[in-house]
């Protein structure tokens, strides 16, 4: 087993969280090495929609123009259909006094997005090594993390030392598990997602669509070039039924819903159905001596509100200055600095986590979802606010007040 000092900071994972962290660190002059088990461009199972505010970070990273040149989709807002058929439309550009970085959200294949974003980190000065799997953390005598153990494509194991290791290795983060920080959320319903790409689905517009059904939900967006991303999310209890027959399950699920089935007449599936899940995980805290977590490795909720990519990019942007400050400091300073990172994450994402929980509960209980859609179909101002919160440019506190929530979920039951 070889051993050498690799970098001041090793980032495990070159997805949006790892790339943004590496970019922000490199910009501060930190020597940073990204390790990813995949070879880019690589795919990631996702509904492939980005909130308008994600474009702000992509613009800062100097990659937005290149992304635009790939001809991605642009979403003006979201359309939500409840089990009872009520439809609500919320738009990003609305008369609510808030404005996002842009009036639209990007919808783009992850093969394209993640590759360009990672190259943005390289341009800023980060080094990237692909096809290297991190299998464990290396520690010094006092159990402080001081590197990673890797397995290369050549089957060779190496230990690479660093002052800090960042776990940006996604949902089932090896770094988070080795640190004992990642846990499965107990309150969150366990779900499984199926995703495929299509052409020629009828009636797809510049409004991203979410259809909530009694047994899960369905989303569709155009990701550019006439390609549609179609996602179905169902309770984990269906896993056995999905088994090896993912395509058949997918087709059956759509065929059972006439309002969807009629739109798939003549449509072509151009990628096989792929599955992932269950997803609901969270970390107790997002750091340990010598290490920190970011992106899905730190927290992952349900994909319904679709802002994991923004949280990953923003998380990297938040983490980098804390890490840069902690390098070379003693343990007491480190504790204070990295606790500051945890606090900053809570301030940044805390409201959003609450909104996600409320939306998650509404999906699980059609009574509330039906009430909400009924109200939102008549109160576009409320729909616009909710979509702006999901779009990351309206503070969650705007919708997290008892009056808004009562009007949304309860009062429609008393109106005809």
Ligand X SMILES: Cc1cc2nc3c(=O)[nH]c(=O)nc-3n(C[C@H](O)[C@H](O)[C@H](O)COP(=O)(O)OP(=O)(O)OC[C@H]3O[C@@H](n4cnc5c(N)ncnc54)[C@H](O)[C@@H]3O)c2cc1C
User: Which residues contact ligand X by CB under 6 A?
Assistant: 12-18, 35-38, 42, 44-50, 133-134, 168-170, 174, 193, 195, 231, 276, 279, 295-297, 303, 306-310, 312
Per the CB < 8 A criterion, the answer to whether 278 and 191 are in contact is: yes
Decide whether 276 or 335 has the Cβ nearer to ligand X.
Answer: 276
Query: Which of 411, 357, 353 shows the shortest CA–CA distance to 382?
Result: 411
**Which residue's C-beta sits nearest to ligand X?**
308
| Burial (Cβ within 10 Å: 0-12, 13-18, ≥19) of residue 416 | exposed
Decide whether 88 or 294 has the Cβ nearer to ligand X.
Answer: 294
Decide whether 107 or 334 has the Cβ nearer to ligand X.
Answer: 107
Decide whether 229 or 371 has the Cβ nearer to ligand X.
Answer: 229
Greatest Cα pair distance in the chain:
72
What does DSSP say about strands 127-129 and 32-35: parallel, antiparallel, or unpaired?
Answer: parallel
Decide whether 212 or 377 has the Cβ nearer to ligand X.
Answer: 212
CA separation for the pair 88, 174 (Å, rounded) = 40
Sheet of 281-283, strand order = 182-184, 281-283, 299-300
CA separation for the pair 404, 385 (Å, rounded) = 10
Decide whether 50 or 334 has the Cβ nearer to ligand X.
Answer: 50
CA separation for the pair 9, 323 (Å, rounded) = 9
Phi-psi label, residue 131: left if phi above 0, alpha if psi -120 to 50, beta otherwise: left
Decide whether 351 or 379 has the Cβ nearer to ligand X.
Answer: 351
What does DSSP say about strands 299-300 and 281-283: parallel, antiparallel, or unpaired?
Answer: antiparallel
Least distance from ligand X to the Cβ atom of residue 232, Å: 9
Q: Under 8 Å CB-to-CB from 251, ≥6 apart: which residues?
A: none
Least distance from ligand X to the Cβ atom of residue 35, Å: 5
Least distance from ligand X to the Cβ atom of residue 169, Å: 4
Decide whether 297 or 337 has the Cβ nearer to ligand X.
Answer: 297
CA separation for the pair 220, 230 (Å, rounded) = 5
- Within 10 A of 195 (CB to CB), how many other CB atoms are there? 25
Rg (CA), the chain: 21
Least distance from ligand X to the Cβ atom of residue 247, Å: 17
Peptide bond into 255 cis (omega under 30): no
What does DSSP say about strands 157-167 and 291-293: parallel, antiparallel, or unpaired?
Answer: parallel
CA separation for the pair 292, 344 (Å, rounded) = 13
Determine which helix (DSSP H) or strand (DSSP E) holds 343, and give its type and residue range.
Answer: helix 331-364
Q: How many CA atoms lie within 13 A of 380 on its CB side?
A: 10
Decide whether 72 or 306 has the Cβ nearer to ligand X.
Answer: 306
Q: Which single residue is written with the structure tokens 């994972």?
A: 13
For residue 189, the Cα-to-chain-centroid distance in whole angstroms is: 17
Decide whether 303 or 388 has the Cβ nearer to ligand X.
Answer: 303
């Amino acid at each position: 087993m070889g051993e050498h000092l690799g970098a001041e900071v090793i980032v495990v994972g070159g997805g949006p969280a790892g790339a943004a962290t590496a970019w922000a660190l490199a910009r501060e002059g930190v020597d940073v090495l990204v390790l990813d088990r995949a070879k880019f461009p690589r795919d990631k199972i996702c509904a492939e929609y980005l909130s308008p505010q994600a474009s702000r970070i992509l613009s800062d990273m100097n990659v937005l123009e290149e992304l635009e040149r790939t001809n991605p989709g642009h979403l003006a807002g979201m359309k939500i259909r409840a089990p009872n058929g009520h439809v609500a439309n919320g738009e990003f550009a609305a008369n609510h006094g808030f404005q996002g970085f842009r009036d639209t959200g990007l919808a783009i294949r992850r093969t394209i997005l993640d590759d360009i974003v990672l190259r943005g980190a390289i341009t800023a000065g980060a080094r990237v090594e692909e096809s290297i799997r991190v299998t464990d953390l290396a520690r010094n005598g006092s159990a402080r993390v001081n590197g990673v153990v890797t397995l290369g494509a050549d089957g060779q194991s190496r230990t690479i030392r660093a002052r800090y290791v960042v776990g940006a290795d996604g949902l089932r983060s090896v770094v988070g598990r080795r640190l004992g920080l990642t846990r499965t959320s107990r309150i969150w319903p366990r779900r499984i997602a199926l995703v495929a790409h299509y052409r020629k689905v009828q009636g797809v517009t510049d409004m991203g669509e979410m259809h909530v059904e009694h047994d899960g939900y369905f989303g569709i967006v155009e990701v550019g070039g006439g390609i549609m991303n179609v996602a179905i999310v169902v309770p984990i209890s269906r896993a056995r039924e999905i088994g090896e027959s993912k395509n058949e399950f997918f087709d059956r699920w759509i065929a059972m819903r006439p309002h969807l089935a009629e739109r798939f007449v003549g449509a072509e599936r151009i990628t096989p159905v792929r599955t992932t899940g269950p997803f609901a995980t969270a970390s107790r805290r997002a750091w340990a001596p010598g290490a920190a977590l970011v992106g899905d490795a730190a927290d992952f909720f349900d994909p319904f509100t679709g802002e994991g990519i923004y949280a990953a990019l923003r998380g990297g942007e938040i983490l980098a200055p804390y890490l840069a400050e902690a390098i070379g400091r003693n343990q007491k300073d480190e504790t204070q600095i990295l606790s500051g990172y945890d606090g900053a994450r809570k301030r940044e994402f805390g409201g959003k986590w609450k909104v996600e929980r409320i939306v998650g509960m509404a999906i699980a209980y059609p009574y509330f979802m039906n009430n909400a859609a009924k109200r939102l179909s008549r109160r576009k101002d409320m729909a616009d606010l909710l979509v702006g919160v999901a779009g990351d440019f309206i503070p969650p506190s705007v919708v997290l007040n008892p009056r808004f929530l009562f009007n949304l979920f309860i009062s429609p039951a008393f109106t005809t």
